[in-house]
Structure formats: C-alpha cells, structure tokens
Chain A
Amino acid sequence: MSGVVWGMVIDLDRCTGCGVCQSACRLENNIPPQQGGRDSDWISVAREVNGQAFPESDALFLPKPCMHCEHPPCVAACPVGATVKSGQGGIVSQNPARCIGCRACMKACPYGVRRFTWTDPSWPRGMDATLTPFASVRPKGVVEKCTFCAHRLVLGNSGVSGAREQDGTGGFVTACAQACPTGAIEFGEIATLLRGREAFALLAEQGTGPQVHYVTRRAWVRGGK
C-alpha cells in the first residue's frame, strides 16, 4: 500500500449530530469519561448555523477530527519530535511519551483539534477494566489527538481492526467511520474518496493541505470556509 494517503470525506448533509462517532472514538482510544469539563474528544461535533434569523435559518453538524495535514504546522512547532508526519499513509502521529506538554503544537494548529490532558485520566471504579489495548493511557501534562485509529492499520485485516472486505489488503477503517449510522464519515484512500466529488477543506487558505474533506449541498457552508 505504498503511496497511499489516508483521509476522510465527511458528508455534512448526512450528519445528524448523534455523537456516536465521539463515543466510538473515546472507547477505542481509552479517553476517560470526563476531564474536568474541558474538551477531551478527539473528534468534536459542532453545530454550525448560517447566521440568519428564523425562518431563513439553517443549521448542520460538523464533525471535526485531526485533519492530518499534508504540511502540518504542529509538526514544525513541536520541539521534541513528539508529533511527526508518518510515512504510513500520511498520518500525523502523536507520541505522548515523548511529549513535554509545551502546547506549541496546539497553538500552531489552526483547527483546534489537539487536546491537552489537564489531569491524570480516571475512570469510575472498575470501569478501567474495559480499557482497550489499542491506545496507551496518557498521563496528565501531554497533548493528544486523533490518530486516524492508526493501530487498526497495524492490525490490518485481523478481524479486530474493524476493516471491511471492501477495504482490501492493508485497508482499514477508523472507529468513528465504522460506527457512523448514516455513513456521513467515509475513510479510505483520499484520492479515491475525492474522485468525482466537489469537496472542500476547512481553512484551505492556510495552506496546510488537510486530508479531511467535506461535502455539502449548502452553499453557505462552502462560502464560509
């Protein structure tokens, strides 16, 4: 699968804001239930509105994971190499063991998708028995973020990776895309996903080359990004 660049296409007209992607991600990647009321989700679902008063108003839900940029500003900002652009399909990895918690990457990221662990993770008594072996438990004082469920890429089509038959050899699918009830989140080789679709990226003018793209029929969304 050399030369493959993984990415996502999110159909905003199909997202109902059900939050299943968020909880699937939390469970897969051992994100504790709550972290002092601060944002801890690796994928957020925000409600976007067109700014018009009723009845001209319109709204949609915008899922936002790490964009796994082609030119990630976070990588350049990290002083210790804790976040790197991987050769494995262009995934921007995050190594919490190496992270010194300076948060330079958070400042550099224009999308606000990186999370700082303000406290040591804790689960209600006994619930840590349901931690998965797919992601290490991160201590306080480090930055974490969406990894495109890279552990599934490592596991391959071994059953527990969540890969489907159509993903082919070496293919995989992220936890959020797998759980999405409407199929709004599609994951795969980005060039294939984008073929024949009029997609757009968030903050494209920043030149970071995000690998997460969006499609919608709503002109006000496309115009505003």
Chain B
Amino acid sequence: MGFGRREFLGISAGLAAGLALSPASWRLARDLTRQSQDPPWLASLPKGQLLEATTTSLACPGAPGITVLAAQGRPLIVRGNPEHPLSRGALSPAAQAEAYSLYHPRRVAGPLKRNAAGALEPVSWAAALELLTERLKAAGGGVLAVGPAREGTLQNLLAEFMAGFGDGGGPGGSGGYLRMPCEADTARAALALMGGAGQPGYDLDNAPGLVLLGADAFDSMPASVHFRKTWGQKAQEFSCFFGPVHGASAALCQEWLPLASGRESHVALGLAWHLADLGRLGGDAARIPDLREFLALVRQRFGPAEVERETGLPPQALRLVAMQVAQGALAVPGSPAGQGAGLAPMVAGLALSVLAGRVNRSGGVYLTGEAGERAATRASVVGLPERFKEIALGLAQAPEVLLLMETDPAAGLPCTDLAVRAMKKAGFRVAFTSVLNASAKMCDLVLPAPMPLERWDDVETPYGLAFSTYGLARPLVRAGADARHPGDVLLDLSARLGRPLKYSSFRQMLRERVALLEGSGGYVAGRVAPWQVLAGAPQPAPEADLWKALSEGALWVRPEQAPVPALSCGAAFLAKATAPAAIDLSLPLTLALQSTQRTGVPGMGVPLQSLTAIRKDEARGALSVARMNGATARLVRVRQGDTVRLAGPSGRMEALVDLDESVMDGHVALLLGLGQCEGEPGGNAQRLTATTPEPVSGRSTWAACRVSLERI
C-alpha cells in the first residue's frame, strides 16, 4: 500500500482536527502565552484587598504624615498623607523607604556578640543582656552613651538611664550622655547665649519674604518637607539664598547670592548695618539690652566696604536684601551642610531678626517651648566631636562601656578617622541598631532594634518649625527580626542594675507623655493650621482622646505667642567670635559640604530606591564627585574627569573632578552621606573635615574646612 498525496492530506487533517479538539494543545498554548507574558521566575504581585493605615514617619527627621498601603498584612508602599498638616502629602526619601527597608540587606536579625576570633556571632537576648549588665556594673561611672540628634522620649529615657551612672561627663570623666551634632543644638545654644530659652523656629508660612543666610531650608533642614510645601506655593515672594553652591535651597529661591563658607556672620551683620542705616529697626529695639554695643560693633567692623572685602558681595545687593528684611522678609541662619558652623553665624542671623523686631511675631522667628522634657538639655555640655577627639588623642580617658543608641558616629561625625580611633579605645562597645552600620561593625555587642513601621515611638518639633509639635509612630507589622525596642531594653537594664525606672514599658512612657500634653495648651491640627493661629486665628479646643488621635497619625501642635524676655544681640560674643581667623595657605580650597535628604538618615545608608537619584555629578561608582568651577580648576591645575586626591588636615579621599559653574570660586563641593557603608556610591566626605574650637564658645566647628587637591 502506497503513501500518496490523498493519505498525507487525510492524516494531516486528522491530526489538525485532533489537536483542535484536544484540550491538551489549548492548555499548552495558554501556558506558553502566560509564560511569555508573566514568566514564573519573575516576582509575583500581591493579591487580596489593599488596606490603608496612617501614621507618622519615624525615619524622616521632618516627621511627615504617611499612609501605608498593605496587603495580606504586609506593608507594600508608603505614600504621603494629604491630611497631615505639616507635609500635606509630601514625602522625603527616608519616609518613602520605611516599607521596603523592613527587608534591608544589612538588617540585624538577632543579637550579635563578638567572639574570641573577632567575628560577630548570634547570641540569645538573655545572654546578651546578662553580659551587658555585667559590663555596666563593672564600668561604674565610665559609661558613655551617644544618642541621635533628634528629640523624643527614647532620648529622654537614655538621658535618665545615664543619670544613674553619676556625673561621668564632667571634666576628666570618661562617661556621660552625648548627642550626635545637629543644627538644632547650635540654634538652642545661640538662643541661650542671647538670653532666650527653647528652640528657634521660622514662620515661613506667614513670612512675606525669605533670606536664607546659609540655611539649607529646602533640603537637609529637618523641617524642610514642610518648608518646601509652604514655599512652593509662595514662589512669587522675594527670596534669596546666601551660600557657596547653587543647590536645592537656592533652586527654590529667586536669587542666589554666592557667599564663601564661613562668611555667614559677616553678611548677617552687614545686613544689620544697612537696617540701622535705613532707620528700619524694630519698634521694640529700645528693649534690646545690648543695642548700643551691637550697633557700635556693626558700624565699626561690618560697614559696606568691610563686608564687601570679606565676602565679595556688592553693597547695593546687600542694601536691597536689607530693604526686604525691613519690609518683613524672614532671615533664617544656618549652614548648607546643616551642622558644623559654630554659634557665631546663628547668633548673628538671629540678632538680625531681633533688630528688625521679628521675634515672636507672625512671619518671624518664634521661640518654641518644649513639648515636654528635652533630652538635649541633659546632654553633656562638651560636644561629641570634642570628646571623641580628646579620647583619640589620649587627652581624655576612654570609656569602659560605649553605648551607641541608633547612631553611627564612625560614619557621621566630622573628622571620621579620629572618631573611629576614639571608639576603638573604648573597653566595650554596644550598638542598639536595626542595620549593621559602620559603627555597629566595630561593636562587641549588637542589639537589634525594630524598624520604624514595627514600633511605637514619638517625634518632636523638627528643627525649623515655628511651633511645637508632637507625633506618634505606631507599629503596623510585627518585627521581621528578633528585635526589641531599645527603650524596653534600657528599662530592663535599669532593673537588672538594681535601680529600676518608674515605667513598666516604653509604650507606657509614651502614654504618660501624651497624658502630660493633654493639659499643656496645644491642640490636634486639623482645619486650623498652627501657622494660622500664629497669624491671629483662634486656637481650636484640645482633643478629647489625644492618644487615639496621635496613634492614628494626627499631629499635636502648640503655637506660642507668649511674650518673651527681650533678647540681646550677642554683641560681646560676636565681637570676639567674628575676629579674623588664621588661614592655612597650604590648603588652597575651601570645602563646601552639601547635605541632602536623598542620602537618607545617618546609620541607615542611602535608601535603595533613591540610589538613582544620586546624580552623576555627585558620585560615580565608589568615587565621590568633587565639583568646582572652571576658574578654580585652572587654579589647582585639574581638568574635567580627572581623578584627584583631596587632603584635609586629618584625612584624605579620592574623587572625580566635575566642572560646575554653580560652585563659587575657591570652593570644592562634595555631597555628604555617601560611602558610609560597603557597596554604597561615593566616599565619606566627613573624612576631610577637621574640627577647630570656635573663639569664645569653644564649640567644635568644621563648616569651612580647607583642603588641598592633587591629580593622581
């Protein structure tokens, strides 16, 4: 029997009919289509109902309100809460990272102890606490604790815990409680020097104009999320930024007036001269205790010619700015890096507001009281950079036990190499942390802390706000690690040391704190915003159940319009602190450090989903980018793309040169917050900084460090 055309067609038709009728072929086609469209090796998307919960961001220093979307009990994404009075839906990268940071690659899964071989190995909580108790008992007063810069109940608890070890923070003592440096502490110290109390805040909401005297109000300043939201709607108002680099804060201002790092006091006092010359002192200027001395100082040393010589700014430009200040523009002092500038620029900037009669007035500077006890007031008067420097150089005794409370001094302090040396000298190092950062890697004991969406905690008045605030962060998910709240651990340790504190848990502490707020004159911000109260609107009644409201993401606020004692202008201090300082001519460039919320918060590293927001003119691979303008590059004989070595008085780093005309002459701009952990982009620019004591106040300053640069 032959196999002809007819048979072939018959079999083919049969096969085709069989395939068409068989479910197997259709199933195969469907599976192939599904695989091509949704390959099984790709991550699958969550299913189920989406739920929303509101709370306050703990990770972001600006404490914005957040909405967390969750499915199957897992937080998926953090969005801004449009109902929150401060942020009104806006966010920062640190707040956005709260959901995915629960799975941080460097997350500490459980307590770790350094073994005899020098490696960190897992240990039980019971064994870890027993060991720590023994070391604390043996250390006596030689216990030094380092707390984070932000305020909150945890910091108060740490201060109270450390008080039990006696005054080890006094001269010559090796113990005590210290905080990471921040601009808020500088501002409070400046205010105290001028005869005030509390924390200065700036009422941008009601200000008809804005003069940023170096202050990074629209990026690294804690209140910047609120400030950006506010000033973004007021872009037509007069605004100018004094600073060495045209960055984020300059971008939102109408004018950038280039000003060398470290010359902020000269501009503020120069503006004061023009204000006096215009005859536009505030109506209550006569109440200023040192008015005569202050005016004599500015007339003698900060006239237009002197200020032009020191800053290069033409007198006409300053005159125009002074006229704006006279008409109500708000002057905000500070430093582009958010710290390290010393007291003088802050005192000079605040004195300008005092002179213009803008203190505790709508659109001016407010002295915010405390939402409760403030840990900063209990911190050692000697700053952390000074103490670590003394320990590193052998001028002070190293502590027996060093407690690091959710901080990373090995990466975040100026003069990083000295900080690391100081830490190595401590007898026993303990880190309370949720991720294994540079400092935790050096510790003998690492105690894991819950991440923001896993814990109760509170946030107080971000520096810069003109009113007191208090918000609660609540847990929305169980801890993904064997973590315990550092507050509960401190309470446990207190009991083990035989001096128990009066609280049963950290949550109870928070409840008592909130109960105290109920009778302290504030209200929950809702329809009436706190800045409207500052502008004269009647203050709403207090909330009936404050705990419930706050734990659902509401914000307690207290706008204060109480009269304050007449502030001085700090004339005696400024006369000495602004005297010409020595300059090291062997280091030809001035470091213009920039700080941004894109690099996250110290100790956590750059948020993973913000890595691509680090631009190529800020870091490339493991190298930071050193930005300078063409004239400066010619001066130091480097070109675009050169790899260079920058050297400061106590440290050095390599960087790539990027020519950028947004940086003023004689300056090299570097972004802070990079290279703090292995595998992160860029290098840690803090290594280049060196601290010098400010005249009179003795505080460490590192804002305008000099560096040299050579091509390699």
Produce 1/0 per residue, B286-299, CB < 8 A to A. 00000000000000
Contact B228 A182, beta carbon cutoff 8 Å: yes
Tell whether A168 is near chain B: CB-to-CB under 8 Å. Answer: no
Contact A23 B45, beta carbon cutoff 8 Å: no
Contact A47 B617, beta carbon cutoff 8 Å: yes
Distance from B192 Cβ to chain A, minimum over Cβ atoms (Å): 32
Q: Which of B47, B100, B612 contacts A34 (CB 8 A)?
A: B612
Distance from A101 Cβ to chain B, minimum over Cβ atoms (Å): 12
25 contacts across the A-B interface (CB closer than 8 A): A13-B252, A18-B597, A19-B93, A24-B96, A26-B612, A27-B78, A31-B609, A34-B612, A47-B615, A53-B629, A54-B629, A54-B665, A59-B251, A59-B661, A97-B36, A124-B103, A125-B105, A131-B43, A137-B44, A164-B89, A178-B89, A181-B92, A182-B218, A183-B229, A184-B232
Contact B100 A130, beta carbon cutoff 8 Å: yes
- Give Cα distance in the complex from A31 to B610, angstroms: 12
Contact A52 B42, beta carbon cutoff 8 Å: no
List of B residues within 8 angstroms of A132 by Cβ = 45-46, 69, 76-77
Distance from B140 Cβ to chain A, minimum over Cβ atoms (Å): 43
What are the 8 closest A-B residue pairs judged by CB atoms, nearest first?
A: A19-B613, A182-B232, A57-B661, A126-B103, A97-B37, A181-B90, A16-B248, A181-B228
For residues 210 through 239 of chain B, which have their beta carbon under 8 Å from a beta carbon of chain A?
218-219, 224-225, 228-229, 231-233, 235
For residues 9 through 29 of chain A, which have their beta carbon under 8 Å from a beta carbon of chain B?
11, 13-20, 22-24, 26-28
Tell whether A189 is near chain B: CB-to-CB under 8 Å. Answer: no
Tell whether A223 is near chain B: CB-to-CB under 8 Å. Answer: no
Tell whether B577 is near chain A: CB-to-CB under 8 Å. Answer: no
Closest to A34 in B: B611
Since A34-B611, A180-B90 are in contact, a sample of 4 more A-B pairs with Cβ atoms closer than 8 Å, ordered by chain A residue number, is: A22-B612, A54-B662, A57-B662, A58-B246
Tell whether A179 is near chain B: CB-to-CB under 8 Å. Answer: yes
Contact B43 A137, beta carbon cutoff 8 Å: yes
Distance from B434 Cβ to chain A, minimum over Cβ atoms (Å): 14
For residues 62 through 117 of chain B, which have their beta carbon under 8 Å from a beta carbon of chain A?
69, 71, 74-80, 82, 87, 89-93, 96-97, 99-100, 102-105
Contact B43 A123, beta carbon cutoff 8 Å: yes
Closest to B628 in A: A54
- Give Cα distance in the complex from A97 to B38, angstroms: 8
Interface centre among A14, A22, A127, A137 (most CB of B within 10 A): A127
Q: Which of A52, A123, A130 contacts B75 (CB 8 A)?
A: A130
- Give Cα distance in the complex from A53 to B664, angstroms: 10
Q: Which of B69, B89, B251, B611 contacts A60 (CB 8 A)?
A: B251
Distance from A126 Cβ to chain B, minimum over Cβ atoms (Å): 4
Q: Which residues of A contact B (CB under 8 A)?
A: 11, 13-20, 22-24, 26-28, 30-31, 33-34, 39-41, 45, 47, 49, 52-55, 57-61, 97, 120-121, 123-133, 136-137, 139, 159-160, 162, 164, 175, 178-184
Q: Which residues of B contact A (CB under 8 A)?
A: 36-39, 41-47, 50, 52, 69, 71, 74-80, 82, 87, 89-93, 96-97, 99-100, 102-105, 218-219, 224-225, 228-229, 231-233, 235, 246, 248-249, 251-252, 258, 480, 596-598, 607-613, 615, 617, 629-631, 660-665
Q: Which of A11, A124, A129, A183 contacts B105 (CB 8 A)?
A: A124
Closest to A122 in B: B43
Contact B91 A179, beta carbon cutoff 8 Å: yes
- Give Cα distance in the complex from A11 to B89, angstroms: 18
Distance from A176 Cβ to chain B, minimum over Cβ atoms (Å): 11
List of B residues within 8 angstroms of A11 by Cβ = 235
- Give Cα distance in the complex from A40 to B608, angstroms: 13
Distance from B370 Cβ to chain A, minimum over Cβ atoms (Å): 27
Distance from B376 Cβ to chain A, minimum over Cβ atoms (Å): 27
- Give Cα distance in the complex from A182 to B615, angstroms: 20
Closest to B87 in A: A181
CB-CB under 8 A for A120 and B42, given A127-B103, A160-B52, A182-B252: yes
Contact B77 A130, beta carbon cutoff 8 Å: yes
Contact B39 A52, beta carbon cutoff 8 Å: no
Contact B233 A33, beta carbon cutoff 8 Å: no
- Give Cα distance in the complex from A19 to B94, angstroms: 11
CB-CB under 8 A for A16 and B96, given A33-B609, A178-B89: no
Contact A18 B596, beta carbon cutoff 8 Å: yes
Q: Which of A23, A31, A45, A139 contacts B96 (CB 8 A)?
A: A23
- Give Cα distance in the complex from A12 to B82, angstroms: 23
- Give Cα distance in the complex from A33 to B681, angstroms: 14
Contact A23 B103, beta carbon cutoff 8 Å: no
Closest to A49 in B: B661
Contact A23 B607, beta carbon cutoff 8 Å: yes
Contact A128 B90, beta carbon cutoff 8 Å: no
Contact A27 B598, beta carbon cutoff 8 Å: no
Interface centre among A54, A127, A162 (most CB of B within 10 A): A54
Distance from A171 Cβ to chain B, minimum over Cβ atoms (Å): 14
- Give Cα distance in the complex from A116 to B268, angstroms: 51
- Give Cα distance in the complex from A34 to B90, angstroms: 24
Distance from B381 Cβ to chain A, minimum over Cβ atoms (Å): 35
List of A residues within 8 angstroms of B615 by Cβ = 17, 45, 47
- Give Cα distance in the complex from A11 to B236, angstroms: 12
Q: Which of A16, A136, A183 contacts B233 (CB 8 A)?
A: A183
Closest to A178 in B: B89
Closest to A98 in B: B37
List of B residues within 8 angstroms of A59 by Cβ = 246, 251, 661-662
- Give Cα distance in the complex from A15 to B611, angstroms: 19
- Give Cα distance in the complex from A81 to B106, angstroms: 43
- Give Cα distance in the complex from A27 to B613, angstroms: 13
Closest to A28 in B: B77
List of A residues within 8 angstroms of B77 by Cβ = 27-28, 130, 132
